[in-house]
A = this chain, B = another copy of it.
Amino acid sequence: MATRGTGGIAAVRCAGRIGVVASVAMNLAWIAMYIRRRYFGGGSRSDNNGGVTTVEPSKGKPPVTEDSIVNLDHGDPTMYEEFWRGIGDSASIFIPGWQTMSYFSDLGGICWFVEPGFEREVRRLHRLVGNAMVDGYHVLVGTGSTQLFQAVLYALSPASDGTPMNVVSPAPYYSSYPSVTNFLNSGLYRWGGDANTFDGDTCIELICSPNNPDGGIRRAVVKSKYSKAVYDFAYYWPQYTPITEAADHDIMLFTVSKCTGHAGTRLGWALVKDTEVAQKMIKFIELNTIGVSKDSQLRAAKIIGAVCNSYELSSAGKTSHLFHFAKEKMAERWIRLRAAVAASDIFALPNELSGYCSFSMETITANPPFAWLHCKKDDIEDLEGFLRLKKIITRGGTKFGVDGRVVRVSMVDTDQAFNVFIYRLATMN
C-alpha cells in the first residue's frame, strides 16, 4: 500500500495553507477574491464568458524554501518526477475523447474491470524484476492498494463462527492499517492490534516487507494454522531493498505509487492465488467503486511498459533505467541522512541491512523509503512535536503502535525538501 496518507492530511493542509497565506499576505483583497471565486462562484473569466479553458494539472505540495515548513509526513513520491521528466515521451499517453467509455474491460477474464494491457504489463514487470511469481496468479486492479487491502478484508471475513475477523500486524505497523480497518465499524472485521501479542487463533495478519515504517524484512509472526497472511509488498522493489526471492504467497499487494512514483494515478494491483478469494475481492471493488479508472490503468500500463522496455531493449540507454536511477538516489540520500544523524548526536537510525539482489546481481544495501528516526534525548518524549517546532512535519511513533520517541520521515520527497530537512537535522542538538 502507498504512502498512505490517512493519518496526517490535516498537517499537510495546514502546511499548504501556511504557505499560501505567507506568499500572499501582502494582498488580502486578492485572497478574498480567490476564496469567493473558488467556493462561492462569480468573477472568473473562464467560468463565465465561455473562453476556451485549458485544464492545468495541479502541482502537488507547494515548493519548499529554506525557511518554510518541510512536510515529510506522507511518502509523497515526488522524487521520481525528475526521472520521468528526463526520459522524454516514452511514458506519456494520449487518450482520445471517445476511448474506453464502457464500464467493462475484460469480459472473458475473471476480473471484468481490469484492462488487459495493464495486466500484461504487470506480469511482464514482475518477470523482469523477479520479485514475485505471476504464473498461476490472478492479477486484480484497485484504486491504490488501499482499496485492495479493504477488498482482502472483505474476502477473508468474517471468521468461520460469524464473529468479526481480527486484523493484526506486528508493531511498528503501517499507521493506516487500524484506521482503514475500523472506520466503517464493520461487523465483518476489526483491528486486533500488534500481531506479536495477539493471542487468538483466527486472524488476518498484514505483513509489510520491507516494513512501513521501519524498513525491516518481515515474515508472518502468527503461527496459528487459522491465520491468513496478506503480504503488503508496496516497497519490495530493487531501489529500496535487495530482491532475494520471487515471492509466492497467497495474496500479495503492490502499488505504482512507490514503484514508479505515480501516486496521483491511484493504482494498485494484487496477485491472488485462490480463485474464490479473487472473486470476493472483485465483488468488493464492484460494490465500492464499480471497477477502477481505465484512464489510470492505461496510463500505468504505459509507464510500466516504459520501465520494462528500458531494461529489455538493447537500444535504451542506462539513463532510462528507473530502478537504477531510484536506487542511486536513495543510496545517496541515506548516506547524507546517516551523516546528518551522526553530526547531530541526538538521533539514531535502524542498522543498515544488506543482501544479494538477484535483480541488480550484486550485494546491495537496503535504502528504505522511510527513515525511522529515534531520539536519544531523555527529555523528548514527543519527537513529532519537537520536529514540528523546527518546521519539519513527520509522523509520530504512537500512530504506528509504539512510543512517541520515534518518528517516520519520508525519504522520497523532492530534492529541495530533502536538502532542507538534512540541513536542519544536522544542526539540531
Residues of A with Cβ closer than 8 Å to B?
A: 2-6, 9, 12-13, 15-17, 19-20, 38-42, 44, 46-50, 52-53, 55-62, 74, 76-78, 80-81, 84-85, 87, 89-110, 112, 115-121, 123-124, 127, 134-138, 143-144, 146-147, 150, 154, 176, 179-180, 183-188, 257, 261-267, 284, 286-296, 298-299, 301-303, 305-306, 308-309, 311-313
Contact = CB atoms under 8 A, between A and B. Distances in A.
B103 A146 contact: no
Given A143-B289, A293-B296, A104 B6 contact: no
B123 A290 contact: no
Given A47-B123, A58-B116, A53 B188 contact: no
A286 B143 CA distance: 12
Q: A-B pairs with the 6 shortest C-beta distances? A: A16-B107, A50-B312, A60-B102, A91-B97, A41-B135, A84-B98
Contacts of A119: 38
A152 to B, nearest CB: 13
Given A60-B103, A62-B107, 6 more contacts: A39-B109, A42-B135, A57-B298, A58-B102, A76-B102, A95-B299
A154 B309 CA distance: 44
A92 B92 contact: no
B104 A298 contact: no
A20 B108 contact: yes
A111 to B, nearest CB: 10
A293 B74 CA distance: 17
B266 A289 contact: yes
Q: How many chain copies?
A: 2
12 contacts: A3-B290, A4-B290, A16-B104, A17-B107, A20-B108, A41-B135, A61-B102, A84-B96, A93-B94, A100-B264, A146-B290, A265-B294
A106 B20 CA distance: 11
Contacts of A298: 55, 57
Contacts of A74: 103
A130 B101 CA distance: 25
A184 B280 CA distance: 12
Contact of A100 (B16, B47, B58, B294): B58
Q: Which of A17, A146, A296 has the most CB of B within 10 A?
A: A296
A168 B287 CA distance: 18
A39 to B, nearest CB: 7
Given A53-B309, A187-B187, A266 B293 contact: yes
B3 A103 contact: yes
B186 A185 contact: yes
Which of A46, A92, A100, A306 has the largest count of B CB atoms less than 10 A from its CB? A100
Contacts of A138: 39
Contact of A121 (B53, B91, B266): B53
Given A46-B124, A84-B98, A85-B98, A58 B106 contact: yes
Best-surrounded residue of A50, A102, A176 (most CB of chain B within 10 A): A102
For A13, A15, A267, the residue with the greatest tally of chain B CB atoms inside 10 Å of its CB is A13
Nearest to A42: B135
A201 to B, nearest CB: 22
A99 to B, nearest CB: 5
B290 A6 contact: yes
Contact of A124 (B53, B147, B299): B53
A246 to B, nearest CB: 12
Nearest to A311: B50
Nearest to A108: B20
Contact of A294 (B40, B57, B96, B303): B57
Given A47-B127, A53-B305, A84-B98, A40 B288 contact: no
A426 B74 CA distance: 60
Contacts of A311: 50
B106 A50 contact: no
B183 A184 contact: no
B264 A107 contact: no
A119 B48 CA distance: 14
Contacts of A306: 97
